Structure 1
Amino acid sequence: MSAAFAPSPISILDTDLYKLTMQQAVLHHFPDVQATYRFTNRDKSRLFSRQCIERFRTAVSQFTDLSLTTEEQVWLRTTCPYFTPAYLSFLSAYRYKPEQVRITFVPVSADGLLGNVEIEAFGPWVDTILWEVPLMASLSESYFHSVMTDWNYDSQEQTAYDKGCALIKAGCAFSDFGTRRRRSYHAHDLVVKSLVRASRDIPGRGRLTGTSNAHLAHKYGLTPVGTIAHEWFMGVAALKGYKNTHCVSLDLWETVYPDSILIALTDTFSTDAFFKDFTSDPARVHRWTGLRQDSGDPFAFGPRVKVMYESLGIDPRQKLLVYSDALDVDKAIRLQKQADELGLEKVSFGIGTFLTNDFKTVSSGGTEKSKALNMVIKLSSVNDRPCIKISDDLTKNTGDKATVEHVKQLYNLIPVAA
């Protein structure tokens, strides 16, 4: 770990693009809505040290120093024409408010030095929406410089380069989606730099399409990639109701982005529920550029999407299909092979943790994996109304149980096993 410890973001753009696109949509439709976000550590066996959380707390206190630079504003205006002057003006004036974040260390060891952490962000939705990604990235970096330190950066550039080469040679169009759970900013920077080098060195049908990280896209001259995330559907449903909620969410999005970034995420309330709503308006299916798969069986998704488009008289070759759930090189290559067999011509892969947090322990001589944190920060409520998620992975359902049951009954979903 020769790189300096820097858990706070380098730039206000050191976040995923879809946080900015959703922030603009929230500013347009819900500027006065109050929101709460909550952290979940999915691996209860992974404990944090008191030192780790104090480092994390210090980093969060420094977020207030960030602001959009003039150069970054010019770059956003040029590169992302879907951002309006009003939104860019808002973002230029935006400042993180650390008082919106509550961090609580809960000791469990006898000496009080190891424990769990509770994190909550609360305030106007248009403000708090930007906390999720940098909070997770900063916590991860704090953890791997304070608790799990049996690793180093040796061979990281070559490893990322080899992954990029393999994907390009296999004909995969792919992008970096690794900001939230990266090992560190330095690791992320090494990865993106190496992928850029691979894309320059290796000819072929495959290509690096960009990165979800707006700052690194700016730094390396890449396309910033991203549209919409689960929280948009979760928040809109809680505010507007769950009946035909996908239609309402997509329509509201389309009023902000009528001509661009129309790639719908399918699994907020299960893919079954999404397709039921989505296909109710064939004209909408025609207008939207494509779909993103983020949970469930990806190998069942491609064939299902093809059948759906063809049933509506739409050529599936003209629609984009983005895979983004727990991808590695092997899975992406196998999915690309399936897409080729299905005749799906516009397929892309958003690869996250496998790129930016793929390390081995030094003590094992590089034979054992140094596992990334398995964590999320989700929208918990809007205007005191609970927000839920019912994905195609039953282990990822989150939120108020009564609301989950209501939505399952509304869409005739199979009850979740206890």
Structure 2
Amino acid sequence: MTVSLSVKLVSLLDTDLYKFTMQQAVLNVFPDVVCTYRFTNRTPSTLFSKECIDIYQKAVSNLANVSLTKSECEWLRASCPFFKEEYISYLSSYRFKPNQVSITFVESPTFPGMGTVQIETKGLWVETILWEVPLMSLLSEAYFKTVDRDWDYEGQEDLAYRKGKALLENGITFLEFGTRRRRSQRTHDLVVAGLKRATEDISGPNIGRMVGTSNVYLAYKHGLKPSGTIAHEWFMAIGALMGYEHVNGKAMDVWHSVYGTANLIALTDTFTTDVFFQDFTGERARLWSGIRQDSGDPFVYAPKAKAVYESLGVDYKERFIVYSDSVNVELAINLKKQCDELGFKAMFGIGTNFTNDFQIKSSEGKEKSKALNMVIKLSSVNDLPCVKLSDEPHKHTGEPAAIEHVRAVFGMND
């Protein structure tokens, strides 16, 4: 059987919910801001073939033909009441502009036909904000169809079913979070089907629940709830545009002005969680329904958050912690135990461990066919450099001078 090497986006909705919620906020508050995004391969030794990048470039060009269908539009309106009619209308007429994306293949002098790839997106923020997720998911799919081909789909749905069953039986609340680094769209579909089947089969007292999926198209297809939180780029852009003094407070307040009491899960680690908590006033802590851990030691996070909530006189037992950093079943179970002991509500966003887990080992016992370790981050807004500091120093992104400037603002250079 001949395997098609083409890759494509099956729907404009085939992305994560947070891209749409942030796009609406940008449309409302920052419609004229111009930005750039840049791709980073965190494993530079991973090379792409020229064939892979050719297929990828064709897929990116074809995104100009993708648009929201009438059925999808109606479903989005009914399923996401926090989207205003103005935004639904905007999204209905939205089209990707491939000329906003630059893709450059740089051949390796050591391995002919193989090399690295440079990807940059530039244009109005409200337009380019939707490029990040499909650019990553399509690159991953092209790579695993052309470079790393020692795998197949057999058992993927059942593997997801077993993981979902283990999470549910341990009382864990979770959502599927794996669009960006998925192996392929078909893999993602199988995974969501397996997880949904687990929720239908497992019932009883103290059983957890699947909140939904961050992938809006798969929520639409499988009758699930689209779920998600705010992302780093919101805080990064606010810092560059509005200044870094009390940047987290500014970002939360502007977001609240758009959404009211909806979609209020705060991401804490854009400039480190310690800096975030400096802006986490009692009023904000009572307003926002939870916080999200995405870098650093996850077992340090809940005790620290508990101390902050208590110092503010806020009942932390009524708040959520969403864990989303490299979460797998075992980690989720252990973190759930800690949160139960402390009294926190816990939720888990599980991504790559669902949608790109093929558990293949070489004859020497070494892991192979591993997911690509890549990101696309906001690089600048209105020619102002953007920075992300993270709770893990090796994950800092941005120009070195800009990083040092932001560190100085927060007193980190002492």
Bin the TM-score by the shorter chain: over 0.9
CA distance in 2, matches of 1:300, 1:111: 43
What is the CA-CA distance between 1:149 and the residue it aligns to? 0.7
What is the CA-CA distance between 1:332 and the residue it aligns to? 0.3
Q: Which residue of 2 aligns with 1:38?
A: 38
Q: Which residue of 1 aligns with 2:359?
A: 360
Q: Which residue of 1 aligns with 2:401?
A: 402
Greater mean alpha carbon deviation, residues 138-147 or residues 358-367: 358-367
Q: Which residue of 1 aligns with 2:158?
A: 158
| SS at structure 1 position matched to 2:279 | helix
- Residues 326, 351 of structure 1: 8 Å contact kept: yes
CA distance in 1, matches of 2:71, 2:26: 25
Unaligned runs of 5+ in 2: none
1:277 alignment partner AA: D
Number of aligned positions between the proteins = 412
CA distance in 1, matches of 2:132, 2:44: 20
- Residues 360, 366 of structure 1: 8 Å contact kept: no
| SS at structure 2 position matched to 1:86 | helix
Unaligned runs of 5+ in 1: none
| SS at structure 1 position matched to 2:348 | strand
| SS at structure 1 position matched to 2:390 | coil
What is the CA-CA distance between 1:109 and the residue it aligns to? 3.7
TM-score, normalised to structure 1, is 0.96
Q: Which residue of 1 aligns with 2:239?
A: 237
Q: Which residue of 1 aligns with 2:386?
A: 387
Residues 6 and 75 of structure 1: CA distance in aligned 2, closer, same or farther (over 3 Å)? farther
Q: Which residue of 2 aligns with 1:146?
A: 146
Residues 368 and 284 of structure 1: CA distance in aligned 2, closer, same or farther (over 3 Å)? closer
CA distance in 1, matches of 2:86, 2:188: 31
* 1:51 to 2:46 alignment: no
Give runs of aligned pairs for residues 204-219 of structure 1, distance below 5 A.
Answer: 204-219=206-221
Residues 414 and 209 of structure 1: CA distance in aligned 2, closer, same or farther (over 3 Å)? farther
- Residues 282, 313 of structure 2: 8 Å contact kept: no
Partner deviation per Cα, 1:162-215 (whole Å, 9 max, x = no partner): 100000011110111100000000000000000000011112421111000000
CA distance in 1, matches of 2:351, 2:114: 28
Q: Which residue of 1 aligns with 2:304?
A: 304
* 1:323 to 2:338 alignment: no
Greater mean alpha carbon deviation, residues 107-116 or residues 217-226: 107-116
| SS at structure 2 position matched to 1:359 | coil
Greater mean alpha carbon deviation, residues 196-205 or residues 210-219: 196-205
What is the CA-CA distance between 1:227 and the residue it aligns to? 2.4
* 1:81 to 2:47 alignment: no
What is the CA-CA distance between 1:75 and the residue it aligns to? 1.0
Give runs of aligned pairs for residues 54-65 of structure 1, distance below 5 A.
Answer: 54-65=54-65
Q: Which residue of 1 aligns with 2:377?
A: 378
Q: Which residue of 2 aligns with 1:273?
A: 275
CA distance in 2, matches of 1:400, 1:363: 38
What is the CA-CA distance between 1:7 and the residue it aligns to? 2.5
What is the CA-CA distance between 1:307 and the residue it aligns to? 1.4
- Residues 3, 186 of structure 1: 8 Å contact kept: no
Partner deviation per Cα, 1:349-406 (whole Å, 9 max, x = no partner): 0000000000133864998442110100000001100001000011100102122112
CA distance in 1, matches of 2:188, 2:365: 20
CA distance in 2, matches of 1:79, 1:312: 35
Partner deviation per Cα, 1:73-122 (whole Å, 9 max, x = no partner): 11111111110000000000100011110000000145640000000011
| SS at structure 1 position matched to 2:119 | strand
- Residues 233, 268 of structure 1: 8 Å contact kept: yes
- Residues 361, 370 of structure 1: 8 Å contact kept: yes
| SS at structure 1 position matched to 2:36 | strand
Match of 2:227 among 213, 219, 225: 225
- Residues 212, 225 of structure 2: 8 Å contact kept: yes
What is the percent sequence identity of the aligned residues?
56
Give runs of aligned pairs for residues 165-204 of structure 1, distance below 5 A.
Answer: 165-203=165-203, 204=206
Greater mean alpha carbon deviation, residues 250-259 or residues 6-15: 6-15
Q: Which residue of 2 aligns with 1:10?
A: 10
What is the CA-CA distance between 1:5 and the residue it aligns to? 4.6
Partner deviation per Cα, 1:275-303 (whole Å, 9 max, x = no partner): 0112xx31121111110000001101011
What is the CA-CA distance between 1:238 and the residue it aligns to? 0.5
CA distance in 1, matches of 2:127, 2:364: 45
- Residues 68, 92 of structure 1: 8 Å contact kept: yes
* 1:101 to 2:124 alignment: no
Partner deviation per Cα, 1:240-266 (whole Å, 9 max, x = no partner): 111111111111101100120011000
